[in-house]
Structure 1
Amino acid sequence: MSNDALISRRLLLRGAGTAMALPFLEAMLPQSALAQSGKGSAPVRMAFLFVPNGINMKHWTPEYEGALTALPSTLEPLAAFKNSINVLTGLSQYGAEAQLDGAGDHARSAAAWLTGCHPRKTDGANIKAGISADQLAALKRGHQTLFPSLELGCERGSMAGNCDSGYSCAYSHTISWRSDTTPVAKEDSPRLVFERLFKVENVNESAAARAKRQRYNQSILDFVKDDATSLQKKLGAHDRQKLDEYFTGIREIERRIEFLEKASKATGATAENFQQRFPTPGQGALDYPQQIQLLGDMMVLAFQADITRISTFMLADEGSGRAYRNIGINEGHHDLSHHGRDSDKLEKLRKINQYHTEQLAYILNKMQSIKEGDKTLLDNTMLLYGAGISDGDRHNHNDLPLLLCGKGGGAIKTGRHVRYADKTPMSNLLITMLDRFGVPGETLGDSTGKLQQLF
């Protein structure tokens, strides 16, 4: 970074035993660049949001190629963002196919989704897939931020055991692989994600400060108030407004985490007894809708603060049997995905799919609301949303349901339904995204070349 910036990109707000990361501010940019352009240039971010068990494709795929007009019912919650998304059809993950390995499509679909690799069929320690797109980006560009990447999920999952026809649970419970033998565990606790992202450890006093903050119900902002006041005096009006919005977001997330934890304690649901009392995912310690939105909000805040530029987020584990009672569905998601063309099951599956896109719309709205110069955070993001199975009853891995959201810094032409030839490798999309992210010339899994029509 040029030394004519007003403040350092690495600056932290400090207080008694606490240090907190700052959002991306114009004052962190070289003043010569600001004077020349009149505005700051924000970085490009990349996110991957995964949903399990396939999709009711009849209500997902737009009828026509080209400009998005009327959206199918599953995508209707995204109507407000129609000009910021692309629906991509025809892409496939050959690595998720059986290839003589028999059953295990759920495990393979998650393991291959971002790696493009066929996982080794084992439920032992000798697991093997491939490096995932997010971790390849983190390897090349992760040094630019406090955290190279962020891995989130709404179900804890396991990295051991047999979860799908002889495949290790590691395959079903993560989409992120640091190497071909090292899956990256995700975090499902909003409290732990918050503490990791927004409170930088002070080895001398962090434990005492955290205990004091929780004992007196204090915000992390109370501990850094003096430093924040001093900093604001150095900032321009736009940066002060941005900092105020960021602080408001922090306080709101703290309040919601506290409310969620109190509600969980009131039911006696804790992390320790979760598996014993609630063996079916979705019935336990955390309220699922609030959990999704809290984790989504923190992912967005982490992007805004430039704490990380890369994230994965599993809305549920592959093969999840979660029951969506919050929308009136008592049957497990996985069982419904094996619909056998039963109209009642297909309709319930459509409702689950639409519920998930509603959560995506919530996240996109947050991104759209954050201004970055003459663009928004959504404009400066590439967010891939979708599944590793199309029809859950057939367990097929071609013509996958995929949405590419955001404009990647202005380079992606959006608002379209783009159809590729059937069985075009999804890995081609991943290396195309990597190229735009500043990681050019890479291959991944079964990739054969960058996709056309996106830029």
Structure 2
Amino acid sequence: MQRFPIAHEVKMPFQPIARRTFLRGLGTAIALPALEAMTPLAAAAGPAAGQAPQRLAFLYVPNGMHMPDWTPEGVGEGFKLNKILEPLAEVQQHISIFSGLGCDNARSHGDGPGDHARSAASFLTGMHPVKTEGRDIRAGVSIDHIAAKYIAGDTPFPTLELGCEAGKLAGTCDSGYSCAYSNSISWRSPSQPSGKEVNPQLVFDRLFGGGSAADVPESQFRRRERQKSILDFVSEDTQRIQRRISMSDRRKLDQYMESIRGVERRIADPASRLSLSDLERPDGVPKDYGEHVRLMGDLMVLALQADLTRVATFMFANEGSNHRYRELEISGGHHQISHHQNDPDKEGAISRINRYHIEQLAHILKRMNEIKEGDSTLLANTGLVYGSAIRDGNRHDHHDVPVLMAGNLGGKMVTGRHQIFPAKTPLMNLFLTMLQGVGAPVESVGDSTGTLTLV
């Protein structure tokens, strides 16, 4: 691997570089993170241009929550994290827990069973999906695509859709509802769900591949067959940039490159990948579910850090998922256990699964909080929502759903609190508040009734 040591300080002022600068090589284009050297050019474009961009991210978990172990003790700043949320203790000041928010359009409203499909489809749209197994699917435009219209700017990817469980967008998956509903939270139009990518290798190639159509396959071949790093292809460009920037920028660039290399190593680890036969190229999907979530989370963080996208969605699993958490020594699938019928053992298993998900979230948030952006951090400049549109998987209820927000959108939102809202307050009110926080001139979304007063 080509190493990028921190060079000795050059006794000259650093030279400004354009914000949208890429390190380029054969079939490779790596965007730079925010650097001090970009500030003079950005400031010249206007007062707001020199500020860190605002980002939005929406993370979804299926099958509800064991709410007695989720709901914090106390309200306001003095709240105590409950059992499921304890892994977030290190970043507690950067999160807010919201109680009382509901997803009314995940209810049946006369359409009978199908709560899982309705939950995923309505989570970011606030709309009641049409019950169909065919091509006439219909939900609504989701918050991520609405936000992208106003904050995507010139990013290569207006939105980024990630997941850890593959799923088809046709056929039936839940009581007469198309699989498109259960397997998607992102909808680019009322009739078009956005497919998500679950393979870390393909996400990596998409984010950091570039160049001509002929160069990209050659670059990928060299990397995989000759055990080269993608960083080897941009070494000359990297050295050129290093000569133009300050010592602190070199440290930041070195840390960024090390993060890319760390992700690359984990993807390339043969022990962590699944393959159907020795003749097929391993697909880069880790066998360990927790590692899969962390790896996809790290790719999302890299994409936000490099300003490749400002809006991301991430499904930890499809709604109604029956994934088996053998690493937790739990027998039975997630969906199966979620119908616990008040069995203490099953309730305990659900609580452990919920906490396991939060442990992966904690990894993502800590990483975001470590990335400096001037006097702030990537986490502080992001509004990240984590939650579900089902409260209790046994009852399939949709009031007071589990939801938290991390980051404060550069000071636009309030964190470090547990806030309780009146019953039947739409979850979409939170999303409307976030949209207006990033400057989107939107008065309503889905079934919203107004913005939230965050105190």
TM-score by length of 1: 0.92
**1:400-430 Cα shifts (integer Å, max 9, x gaps):** 1000111211222211110000110111111
The size of the alignment, in residue pairs, is 440
> Which sits farther off after the overlay, 184-193 or 140-149?
140-149
Q: Distance in 2 between matches of 1:263 and 1:122?
A: 36
- The structural deviation recorded for 1:438 is 2.3
Aligned to 1:76: 86
Aligned to 1:448: 449
Contact 1:264 1:270 in 2 (8 A): no
Decide which of 163, 184, 190 is 1:180's aligned counterpart: 190
1:406 equivalenced with 2:407 (yes/no): yes
> Which sits farther off after the overlay, 82-91 or 258-267?
258-267
- The structural deviation recorded for 1:264 is 2.5
Q: Describe the SS at the equivalent of 2:152.
A: helix
Q: Distance in 1 between matches of 2:40 and 2:196?
A: 36
Q: Distance in 2 between matches of 1:95 and 1:445?
A: 9
After superposition, the Cα gap between the structure-2 partners of 1:338 and 1:267, relative to the gap in structure 1 and judged at 3 Å, is: farther
Q: Distance in 2 between matches of 1:66 and 1:431?
A: 22
Aligned to 1:280: none
- The structural deviation recorded for 1:142 is 2.2
Aligned to 2:336: 335
After superposition, the Cα gap between the structure-2 partners of 1:195 and 1:69, relative to the gap in structure 1 and judged at 3 Å, is: same
After superposition, the Cα gap between the structure-2 partners of 1:432 and 1:270, relative to the gap in structure 1 and judged at 3 Å, is: farther
Q: Distance in 2 between matches of 1:407 and 1:75?
A: 19
Q: Distance in 2 between matches of 1:187 and 1:141?
A: 22
- The structural deviation recorded for 1:64 is 1.7
Aligned to 2:19: 9
Contact 2:69 2:83 in 1 (8 A): yes
> Which sits farther off after the overlay, 66-75 or 158-167?
66-75
Decide which of 243, 266, 272 is 1:256's aligned counterpart: 266
Contact 2:273 2:283 in 1 (8 A): no
Amino acid at match of 1:77: P
Q: Distance in 1 between matches of 2:216 and 2:42?
A: 38
Q: Distance in 2 between matches of 1:33 and 1:142?
A: 19
Aligned to 1:386: 387
Aligned to 2:164: 154
- The structural deviation recorded for 1:28 is 2.3
Amino acid at match of 2:394: D
Aligned to 2:416: 415
Contact 2:339 2:394 in 1 (8 A): yes
- The structural deviation recorded for 1:254 is 0.7
1:377 equivalenced with 2:378 (yes/no): yes
Aligned to 1:357: 358
Q: Distance in 1 between matches of 2:282 and 2:131?
A: 31
- The alignment yields a C-alpha RMSD, in angstroms, of 2.4
After superposition, the Cα gap between the structure-2 partners of 1:268 and 1:437, relative to the gap in structure 1 and judged at 3 Å, is: farther
**1:312-365 Cα shifts (integer Å, max 9, x gaps):** 000010000001001111210001110111100000000000000000100001
Q: Distance in 2 between matches of 1:80 and 1:299?
A: 21
**1:252-304 Cα shifts (integer Å, max 9, x gaps):** 11110011576434986979999xxxxxxxxx973211111110001011111
- The structural deviation recorded for 1:308 is 0.5
Amino acid at match of 1:441: V
Amino acid at match of 1:437: V
Aligned to 1:279: none
**1:53-106 Cα shifts (integer Å, max 9, x gaps):** 000000000132212442110000001111111000100111111000000000
Decide which of 222, 246, 249 is 1:239's aligned counterpart: 249
- The structural deviation recorded for 1:240 is 1.2
After superposition, the Cα gap between the structure-2 partners of 1:213 and 1:184, relative to the gap in structure 1 and judged at 3 Å, is: same
Q: Distance in 2 between matches of 1:254 and 1:313?
A: 20
Q: Distance in 2 between matches of 1:408 and 1:140?
A: 15
- The structural deviation recorded for 1:200 is 2.1
Amino acid at match of 2:184: T
Q: Distance in 2 between matches of 1:152 and 1:200?
A: 20
- The structural deviation recorded for 1:143 is 3.5
Q: Describe the SS at the equivalent of 1:91.
A: strand
How is 1:192-207 mapped onto 2 (pairs within 5 angstroms)? 192-207=202-217
- The structural deviation recorded for 1:131 is 0.3
Contact 1:68 1:82 in 2 (8 A): no
Q: Distance in 2 between matches of 1:450 and 1:273?
A: 43
> Which sits farther off after the overlay, 81-90 or 235-244?
235-244
Aligned to 2:301: 300
Q: Distance in 2 between matches of 1:321 and 1:269?
A: 30
Q: Distance in 2 between matches of 1:272 and 1:12?
A: 29
% of aligned pairs identical?
50
1:316 equivalenced with 2:326 (yes/no): no
